């Protein structure tokens, strides 16, 4: 805590206020300055100096609050940096008006009234800031975005981890280690995919198809069933419905389901669906839909590749052939 206070120079700016106050009250006692105009001008300079120090002290206090907030680990669910930046903009805007009013010896209320007439210009100047603030409030209120989220923009301009959320920009580190910066209102106006739900769930989805050559489909003979029971342990205890003629594709789907259920990398408590899709000119698609426990990208890709390597090799055990386009 102490280290944060000194790093933000809060006490430094507070101490800087004291010399300005001392000089301001000692000005009337200075000898050699007979002009009231010069004395008033020097007094206004002292007031401007004091106001400047107060502004920087308040700014340091805001940054100190942000440091304490981030240290508690709450910034992931409710990023505060954008809101702090809004307060900083308001602080220095109001402080600037007060400083100008002191220098020209006018009431700040007069200057604020004059600014009302130029509201359109101010809106144009602070357009991105206002849009960013409104979008940031919407993103935070609806819990659409947090630090550490993996997001993917539909236009492909960004796909990676959210590193920073500020008033005007959202910084995303892409998977190729490049950095993308986008305005917050771009996420409100366009669609994006947030993978947080997958990361917080019990698994990461795998949804692929294995295309079979339709010419290789056939009914299973007793010899084929006996051979499969003997050579494939996972199907040795499978009970087949009496009087029902199984096809080799149907038996292959049964094998896929048993293989995935027996694999300790697969979360069998979530959806596990093996289905046959409509045949096309590119073969008969067998959709394999399941969830892996491991959600880390590299491990996820390795595990699912190993699983499908096995499933592709096992096709021939059922007297099936993979469809391969010959041109």
**pLDDT score recorded for residue 258:** 94
Residue range 201-318 in CATH 3.30.70.100:
yes
Rounded-to-integer distance, Cα 69 and Cα 66, Å: 5
The pLDDT tens digits for 171-214 are 999 988 899 988 888 888 888 888 888 777 888 999 999 999 99
| Helix H or strand E encompassing 48 | helix 36-71
Burial of residue 124 (number of CB atoms within 10 Å: 0-12, 13-18, 19+): exposed
| Helix H or strand E encompassing 185 | helix 184-189
| Helices and strands per DSSP (H, E), number in the chain | 12, 8
Confidence of residue 287 (pLDDT cuts 50, 70, 90): very high
Task: Please compute Rg for the chain using Cα positions.
Answer: 35
Rounded-to-integer distance, Cα 96 and Cα 302, Å: 58
Confidence of residue 301 (pLDDT cuts 50, 70, 90): very high
Summary mean pLDDT of the chain? 84
The pLDDT tens digits for 96-131 are 888 888 888 888 777 777 666 666 676 777 777 777
Comparing CA positions, the residue from 185, 183, 153, 156 lying closest to residue 171 is 183
11 pLDDT more than 60: yes
Strand order in the sheet with 179-182: 179-182, 170-174, 159-165, 150-153, 192-194
Which of the two residues, 165 and 51, has the higher pLDDT score? 51
Rounded-to-integer distance, Cα 94 and Cα 113, Å: 13
Per the DSSP assignment, residues forming a β-bridge with 161 are 150, 173
Rounded-to-integer distance, Cα 82 and Cα 88, Å: 10
The pLDDT tens digits for 220-276 are 888 888 898 889 988 888 767 766 788 999 999 999 999 999 999 999 999 999 999
pTM over 0.85: no
Query: Domain 144-197, what architecture?
Result: Roll (2.30)
Residue 24: CB atoms within 10 A of its CB come to 17
Q: Where are the domains of the chain?
A: 2-125, 144-197, 201-318
């Amino acid at each position: 805590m102490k280290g944060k206070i000194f790093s933000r120079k809060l006490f430094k700016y507070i101490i800087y206020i004291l010399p300005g106050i001392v000089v301001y009250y000692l000005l009337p006692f200075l000898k050699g300055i007979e002009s009231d105009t010069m004395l008033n001008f020097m007094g206004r300079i002292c007031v401007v100096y004091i106001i400047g120090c107060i502004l920087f002290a308040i700014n340091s206090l805001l940054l100190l609050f942000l440091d304490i907030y981030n240290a508690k680990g709450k910034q992931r669910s409710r990023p505060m940096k954008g809101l702090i930046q809004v307060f900083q903009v308001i602080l220095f805007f109001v402080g600037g008006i007060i400083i100008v009013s002191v220098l020209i010896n006018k009431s700040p209320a007069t200057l604020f009234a004059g600014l009302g007439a130029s509201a359109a210009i101010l809106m144009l100047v602070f357009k991105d800031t206002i849009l960013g603030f409104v979008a940031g409030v919407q993103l935070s209120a609806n819990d659409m975005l947090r630090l550490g989220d993996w997001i993917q923009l539909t236009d492909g301009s960004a796909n990676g981890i959210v590193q920073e959320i500020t008033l005007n920009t959202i910084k995303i580190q892409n998977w190729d280690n490049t950095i993308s910066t986008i305005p917050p209102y771009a996420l409100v106006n366009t669609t994006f995919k947030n993978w947080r739900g997958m990361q917080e769930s019990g698994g990461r989805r795998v949804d692929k198809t294995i295309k079979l050559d339709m010419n290789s489909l056939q009914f299973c003979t007793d010899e084929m069933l006996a051979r499969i029971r003997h050579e494939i342990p996972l199907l040795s205890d499978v009970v087949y419905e009496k009087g029902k003629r199984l096809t080799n594709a149907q038996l292959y789907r049964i094998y896929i389901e048993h293989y995935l259920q027996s694999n300790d990398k697969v979360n069998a408590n979530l959806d596990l669906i093996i289905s046959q899709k409509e045949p096309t000119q590119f073969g008969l698609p067998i959709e394999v839909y399941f969830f892996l426990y491991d959600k880390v990208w590299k491990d996820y890709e390795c595990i699912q590749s190993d699983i499908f390597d096995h499933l592709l090799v096992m096709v021939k055990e059922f007297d099936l052939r993979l469809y391969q386009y010959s041109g």
